[in-house]
Structure 1
Amino acid sequence: MPIALWALTLASFGIGTAELVPMGLLTTIAEDLKVSLFEAGLLVTGYALGVVIGVPLVSIIFSRISRKNLLLFLVGGFAIGNLLCAWAPNYTFLMIARIICAFMHGTFFGESYVVAAKLAPPNKQTSALALVASGLTLSTVLGAPLGTFLGLAYNWRMPFYVISGIGAIAFLAIALLVPAVKQEQVASLRKQVGVLRRPQVLLALMMTVFGFGGVFTALTYITPMLEQITGVSSQDVSAILLVYGIGSLVGNIAGAKLADRWLMPTLLGVLILLAVVLTSLTFTLHHVMAAIITIFIWGGSAFASISPLQMHILDQASDAPQFASGLNVAAFNMGNALGAFLGGMIIEHPLFGLAALPLAAALVTTAGVALTAASLVLERKKIRS
């Protein structure tokens, strides 16, 4: 793979870590800023909604500048945004700084996936996407656990300083290593928006929202679940997040390899596995070793879906790849936002609470399974006709 892809992977690692870090520090942030656990969880929801809103705005406003310059602008803005998070004097300031970072997040991944596909050797596009997405995986394997450790050992602001530094290094790496990718004629706004009239494109976006949305319904509140249901100490949560991350690394690689050959069957299979694993978490959370094994498989099945979902949307909207890729990143984060919000509502409800989160997450992902099956049926009908 071209070395330029590693620069994009580094940026992906920093951005993914910034999104995930608050989940391991919700209790600490809530106590320091004197807000409820639910309000602290809204930092995850607000970030995800910022991605959803930011993708179309930033993509359209900056559609005429070169891809490399846009990547530099986005990574630079991300580094500054995380510095603001570290300096946040109150909850409102922190939320605004998180949304600034979120505006950079969505368009970065949309553009980086398109650049990765263009730089990849023939028949290796999904693997190239997986390499860039592996930054997200490593943010789960290393970034989130280390961020949680730093936040608990020092204070919750320290991880944001480190992430800002990673953003600065990624900025230099992209400037030096990523070539000036030829900018083809950009489709008109009308043509770009027109892809949303295609049933398969809409199905692809909804597959992402619901298929991956179930992950964040439970993952946002994994720290209180492990502490209050499994009985794990706060110091051991970082180690269990590392197990989730290792599973996600394995799943990311395996999902990409399988999707290079069988895209839609792979996607359907991993989403079914994800729904089953989330359901089983309802029971395994009560036993430490069983919970750890389940969390490993959860990470693997969740991240095995990312590259196939992204490649599928590029296949269905090949005439407007930047817009479609960005929309799918927004769809991931819409799923994250809805999942985090749903999870917060469930833990606040007197009849449910933390124990109900895994089953609720499984139901959300099951909707994604149904949408994927519908898309596969439409695709096969099209081939036959």
Structure 2
Amino acid sequence: MNTSTPDRFLIPTLSACNFVIGIGAFSLIGFLEPLGADLDRSPAQAGQLMTIYAVAYAILSPLLVAVSGNVGRRRIMAAGFVVYALAALVCATAPNFAVLGIGRILAAAGAGIFTPLAAAVAAGLYPEERRAKVLAAVFFGLTISQVVGVPAGSWIAYTFGWRWALWMVFAFALPCIWLIWTRVPAGLKFQPVTLRDLRDVVGEGRLMLAIGFTASFIGSQYVLFTYVAPLLSSTMGFGRDGIAMVLMVAGFGAVAGNILGGYLSDRAGWRITLTGMCMVQMCILPLFSLLPVSVPMLFVLVFAWSMGSWSFMAAQQVRLINIAGHRAPVVLALNAAAIYFGAAIGSALGGAMIVGYGLTSLGVTAGFAAAFALAHLTLSARLSPLNEARS
């Protein structure tokens, strides 16, 4: 491990890069309707682009991290962002839905290299007692993207066209390549991971069950989150400005949740934190099936939902790093993959519920999915290699 004092701009750099990744990954949620209208797709069909990204990330991220285990972290992280920038360019200029899907696969590959390695670098350069806060800071960019990037992307897409939102992602990605190259230490390597490590982790049932909780929890959120724009349009009569405002409120909730999750994880331990988040979501998500409600009530509901959904990340990552040992990069890549695997499952389930039962079924369905996530957490905690309430 590199034991030198980390560059004071390293964590802000990693966070800024995750901010750009967050915009590219999630801003699509805010403009499914104009994109679908332009490409002659329904909102449920346009939502398949989230599924494509998620599945590609889930498959490619752990493989790419494993095969690049002997390459310096700066080089491979910069290369990942080059791929991400090119993917944004492909998406912005895509002539049809198929090419847009290819662009989303490339974006997933680039993000799938960068994000888990950013977490591994941060965890490896800072002492254990600071890991939860440092990891929360690295992922702060993803949460800020919910406050600024996703609502801005939605507003731009509704005002000027969805392609302009993707051009914005491309423009932001370019300086990130320079930041990675100048702020991530040159020659930085930890104990290398290999495809054999990936095979061993995948074959370790208890560890994969712990990683799989991420997919269960995120899946419960994306049953609703993927289709929140058409839901608000249908039930609340919201257009461009209303949807952008709700997404901004959700973004502030995400920031609060990110901070709260790191705080609770350091003080109460991962198990209490994650159990509490599941129970909060079980109570809040079904309320979205009761829309319409007053606008102030909606904002309170959205803020609480988003805060709960974003509070789990630091606790789950600390839990997995404690279990993983030197295989942390592979485990974090699989955890990041589980995020998008869960998003794919949740998006697909939400789309199926819309077709079968309508948009208002999403809240109740998501609530049941959160209950499943709680059961998954309870089982994985009992079987965990580190079966402790605080670890």
Which TM-score bucket, shorter chain as reference? over 0.9
Q: Distance in 2 between matches of 1:23 and 1:297?
A: 19
Match status 1:253 vs 2:265: no
Q: Distance in 1 between matches of 2:34 and 2:347?
A: 18
Please provide the CA RMSD for this pair. 1.8
365, 368, 373: which is aligned to 2:373? 368
Query: Partner residue of 2:340?
Result: 333
Give 2:45's aligned amino acid.
Answer: E
Match status 1:119 vs 2:119: no
Q: Distance in 2 between matches of 1:371 and 1:157?
A: 39
Q: Cα distance 1:185–1:117, how it changes in 2: closer, same or farther (>3 A)?
A: closer
150, 172, 177: which is aligned to 2:178? 172
**Count of residues in correspondence between the two structures:** 382
SS in 2 for 1:25: helix
58, 62, 78: which is aligned to 1:56? 62
Q: Distance in 1 between matches of 2:367 and 2:273?
A: 19
Instruction: Provide the identity percentage.
Output: 28
1:287 deviates by: 3.3
Gaps of 5+ in 2: 1-5
Query: Partner residue of 1:137?
Result: 143
Match status 1:69 vs 2:75: yes
CA contact (8 A) 1:74 1:104 kept: yes
Match status 1:21 vs 2:21: no
Q: Distance in 2 between matches of 1:187 and 1:56?
A: 11
CA contact (8 A) 1:200 1:316 kept: no
Match status 1:225 vs 2:263: no
CA contact (8 A) 1:267 1:308 kept: yes
353, 357, 377: which is aligned to 2:358? 353
Q: Any idea what the Cα deviations from partners look like across 1:70-129, whole Å, max 9, x if unmatched?
A: 110011110111011111111111111111101111221110100111233451111111
CA contact (8 A) 2:56 2:109 kept: yes
Q: Distance in 2 between matches of 1:175 and 1:274?
A: 40
Query: Partner residue of 2:281?
Result: 274
Q: Cα distance 1:186–1:82, how it changes in 2: closer, same or farther (>3 A)?
A: same
Q: Distance in 1 between matches of 2:250 and 2:223?
A: 15
Q: Distance in 1 between matches of 2:240 and 2:15?
A: 30
Match status 1:10 vs 2:16: yes
1:178 deviates by: 1.5
Query: Given the two structures, how large is their TM-score scaled by the length of structure 2?
Result: 0.93
CA contact (8 A) 1:146 1:238 kept: yes
SS in 1 for 2:69: coil
Q: Distance in 2 between matches of 1:353 and 1:323?
A: 39
SS in 1 for 2:325: coil
SS in 1 for 2:98: helix
Q: Distance in 2 between matches of 1:117 and 1:217?
A: 31
Q: Distance in 2 between matches of 1:347 and 1:383?
A: 40
Q: Cα distance 1:168–1:380, how it changes in 2: closer, same or farther (>3 A)?
A: closer
Query: Given the two structures, how large is their TM-score scaled by the length of structure 1?
Result: 0.95
Gaps of 5+ in 1: none
- Is the deviation greater in 310-319 or in 151-160? 310-319
Query: Partner residue of 1:80?
Result: 86
Q: Distance in 2 between matches of 1:187 and 1:236?
A: 47
Q: Distance in 2 between matches of 1:343 and 1:285?
A: 19
Query: Partner residue of 1:194?
Result: 200
Give 2:304's aligned amino acid.
Answer: I
1:346 deviates by: 0.9
CA contact (8 A) 2:67 2:194 kept: no
Give 1:251's aligned amino acid.
Answer: G
Give 2:311's aligned amino acid.
Answer: A
Give 1:370's aligned amino acid.
Answer: A
SS in 1 for 2:129: coil
1:337 deviates by: 0.5
Give 1:276's aligned amino acid.
Answer: C
Q: Any idea what the Cα deviations from partners look like across 1:312-336, whole Å, max 9, x if unmatched?
A: 2222212311111000000010000
Q: Distance in 2 between matches of 1:122 and 1:57?
A: 27
Q: Distance in 2 between matches of 1:238 and 1:228?
A: 15
